[in-house]
Amino acid sequence: MKSILSFFASIIILICTSLDIPCFPMGEKLDMDKFEIMFNEEFEGELDRSVWSGHYQYGNTTVDRKGSYWNQYLAQTKDGNLVIPVVYLEEGMGGKGAGWYTAGIDTDSDAKNGFSQKFGYFECRCILPEGADIWSAFWLMNSGVFDEDGSGRDGTEIDIFESDGYENLFKYNVSSNLHFDGYGDAHQKLGATRFLLKNNPYEEFNTYGLEWNENEYIFYINGVETFRTSFGGVSQNEEYIILSVEMRGENGIPSERENAPAEGAEFIVDYVKVYQYKDLIK
């Protein structure tokens, strides 16, 4: 019965994707019995910067990130959550001038106690930042993503979710995306499979997860499967975690829209947890 339901769910998802219409998750429920937790970040106390470092930011240096700027020190903990704000700084920060500022942080080896893992289940519970041209993301990376070898097996950017659909008619949606072979002419991607949330994700917490094994990626929202794929051949190497917010635009200049982002938009993360298959733990 489950396989029949999964089959029809896959057909509906393919139709929705081809028409660029988001749909609700309708797959199987996540089975947590096969996993054991390996990484548990609940953001109690100050942000542990021996675990979380700036994604392509070093020290107090600010870098351009599309239509915004990134400075890792804007990411702070508050009331047991990680908070990454989107703020306009007239005086600038970290060597850059006036503009919209936010941050991206990761668990790469630049952090003394960084974390990466191959396979397992990766989950984030969060509230999304609200506003036009703002999107947050929970994603995985490794250096193999830049290898232009025709395969994602050595490394794939796995966007577990991106909240890049605020301007969509159905704005309570997120997308999941895959990228490999660098970001130039050889770049390959499977993009923008969109799914709807049943609540307001800009005001309420939801969980977004990825089950990753040697054969496929399986994506989840609130423990319900959204879709699965083996696009690129599936990464076979360890990848690290990234939490980020950015704005559309380029060179630190945001896209021009009438509904500009409201001051005070925040990406609020309750936790990030990573599990491993019990039969892979030695």
Condensed to tens digits (0 to 9), the pLDDT of residues 42-54 reads: 999 999 999 999 9
Candidate from 112-121, 127-136, 168-177, 254-263 with smallest mean pLDDT: 254-263
Q: What percent of the chain has pLDDT over 70?
A: 90
SS3 11: helix
Amino acid type, 158: I
Q: Which residues contact 256 (CB under 8 A, 6 or more apart)?
A: none
Kindly state the tokens that stand for 37: 């937790």
pLDDT of residue 2: 54
C-alpha closest to that of 124 among 4, 245, 279, 241: 241
pLDDT at 19 over 80: no
Kindly state the tokens that stand for 153: 């097996």
Kindly state the tokens that stand for 171: 């704005």
Report how far residue 282's alpha carbon sits from residue 211's, in angstroms, rounded to the nearest whole number: 19
Amino acid type, 128: L
Burial class (CB in 10 A: 0-12, 13-18, 19+), 146: middle
Per-residue burial over 249-271, b if 16 or more Cβ lie within 10 Å, else e, is: beebebeeeeebbeeebbbbbbb
Q: Is 27:222 a contact under the CB 8 Å cutoff?
A: no
pLDDT of residue 9: 63
Number of Cβ within 10 Å of residue 63's Cβ equals: 18
pLDDT of residue 32: 97
How far, rounded to the nearest angstrom, does the alpha carbon of residue 31 sit from its chain's CA centroid?
22
pLDDT at 111 over 70: yes
Q: Give the pairing type, strands 99-102 and 68-70.
A: parallel
pLDDT of residue 16: 67
Kindly state the tokens that stand for 202: 């800009």
pLDDT of residue 264: 75
Q: Measure the N-to-C terminal CA separation of the chain; round to a whole number of Å.
A: 35
Q: Is 243:105 a contact under the CB 8 Å cutoff?
A: yes
Q: Which residues contact 224 (CB under 8 A, 6 or more apart)?
A: 25, 26, 27, 28, 29, 30
Average pLDDT score over residue span 111-128: 96
**What are the phi and psi torsion angles at 229 (to 5°)?**
-160, 155
* DSSP label of 153: T
C-alpha closest to that of 248 among 100, 97, 84, 114: 100
Dihedral (C-alpha) 129, 131, 134, 139: value to the nearest 10 degrees? 30
Q: Dihedral sign for Cα 45, 49, 53, 57, please.
A: positive
